[in-house]
Structure 1
Amino acid sequence: MYSCDCDTTPISFAVPTSLRAYAPDEADAAAICPRCLRVEPVADTDTTDDVAFDRLSSSFPTGEAGVALALAIGLCASLATNRSALEDALEAVERAGADPLLALDRLLAEPSVEPAIDLERRRHQLEQLLYG
């Protein structure tokens, strides 16, 4: 069960086998809160085939790129611990055809998004991971 304290319904999604190493508890399903962006594992029965990532932002990637970006956001809670996994997850976003930094910038511009962690500060560190 998702335990976020925000008064909003989380966005649940299945985690493909190729991305499970980046999921919390290596779960086969996870959810992201559209307000605080907390990512937590959920029961696989909570997911649907039509993931509503547009509830985060109309420019949030869809499909595997969206799943990889959501998981990368979850990994941002601890850059030191998750550095390698985060780098791999961001590269998975790129391989799936999306620009992770641009998507993150657009997400942070959404007025309804209030990240639980300082993603604006982490964005610079993410850029260094990708291109540094």
Structure 2
Amino acid sequence: MNCPACNASMVAFAVPMRYREHVPEQSDHAALCPECLTLTAANGVDVSEEPRFDRISSAFPTTEAAAVPLALAVGLLDSLALHRSALEELLVDAESAGVDPLLVLDRLHAQGGVQPVFDLERRRHQLQQLLD
């Protein structure tokens, strides 16, 4: 599946029922672009293989319990105002699974090659204030 925003190959993954309300179209599958961090529904995409979250960043967690909520949260960073409660829930779940989401965002920003439509460094600072 290619990204509708930048045409890069996306990372598709299954979304557990508890997180589907945070996915476009409340889909049971989502995809995150490793280049522009666009999140889309991945209806009809075969996700039978293990998702390659390491394509987003080598710092990205690989376990479903941590990777899925973090991937969804990263995909929702385009608008903190619209997605505030979802981000709080998803980031707390990622933390509960043993991941420091702010550290992952730092590494994602530092690695380069990622060009989201939003300022990743600024969003990271805003998320820190949100979580404090």
Whichever residue aligns with residue 83 of structure 2, its letter is N
Which residue is 2:101 aligned to?
A: 100
Task: Within 5 Å, give how 1:40-119 maps onto structure 2.
Answer: 40-62=40-62, 63-119=64-120
TM-score using structure 1 length: 0.90
Bigger relative contact order, structure 1 or 2 (CA pairs below 8 A, ≥6 apart): 1
State the alpha-carbon separation in 2 of the partners of residues 107 and 21 from structure 1: 25
Tell me, in whole angstroms, the C-alpha distance in 1 between the residues paired with 2:94 and 2:115. 22
Amino acid at match of 1:47: V
Deviations 1:22-78, CA, capped at 9 Å, x for gaps = 222221111011100100001153323411010111110122211111110122111
Deviations 1:59-107 (A, max 9, x none): 1012221111111012211111111111111111111111110011111
Q: Could you list the runs of 5+ residues in structure 1 that have no partner in the other structure?
A: none
Structure in which a larger fraction of residues adopt helix: 1
> Identity across aligned pairs (percent)?
51
Equivalences, count: 131
Asked if the contact 2:12–2:45 (Cα under 8 Å) also holds between the matched residues in 1, the reply is: no
- In the superposition, the TM-score normalised over structure 2's length comes to 0.90
Which residues of 2 match residues 10-21 of structure 1 at below 5 A? 10-21=10-21
The answer to whether the Cα contact below 8 Å between 1:22 and 1:86 also exists between their aligned partners in 2 is no
Q: 1:3 to 1:56 in 2, by over 3 A?
A: closer
Letter in 2 for 1:50: E
Q: Which runs of 4+ in 1 moved over 3 A?
A: none
Structure 2 gaps, min length 5 = none
Paired letter, 2:96:
R
